[in-house]
Amino acid sequence: VCLEAGLAPRYRQVDLLGKRVLDDDTDFRAVSPSGCVPALALDDGTRLNEMSAVTMYLADQAPSSGLAPRPGDPARYRLQQWLSFVGTEIHKTFVFPTYRLQGTPEPVKAHARALLEPALAVLDRRFREAPHLVGESFTVADAYLAWTLALIRRAGVDVAPWRALAAYADRIRGRPSVHDAFATERAIAGL
Ligand SMILES: N[C@@H](CCC(=O)N[C@@H](CS)C(=O)NCC(=O)O)C(=O)O
C-alpha distance from residue 163 to each of 112, 126, 130, 158, 160 (Å): 22, 11, 13, 11, 6
Tell me the per-residue pLDDT of 27-54, one tens digit each, with 9 for 90 and over. Answer: 999 999 999 999 999 999 999 999 999 9
Ligand 1 centroid – CA 133 distance (Å)? 22
Tell me the per-residue pLDDT of 48-98, one tens digit each, with 9 for 90 and over. Answer: 999 999 999 999 999 999 999 999 999 999 999 999 999 999 999 999 999
Ligand 1 centroid – CA 129 distance (Å)? 30
C-alpha distance from residue 53 to each of 105, 145, 173 (Å): 31, 15, 24
The neighbour count for residue 181, using CB atoms within 10 Å, is 19
Check pLDDT > 80 for residue 140. yes
Cβ of residue 51 lying under 6 Å from some atom of ligand 1:
yes
Cβ of residue 87 lying under 6 Å from some atom of ligand 1:
yes
pLDDT of residue 184: 86
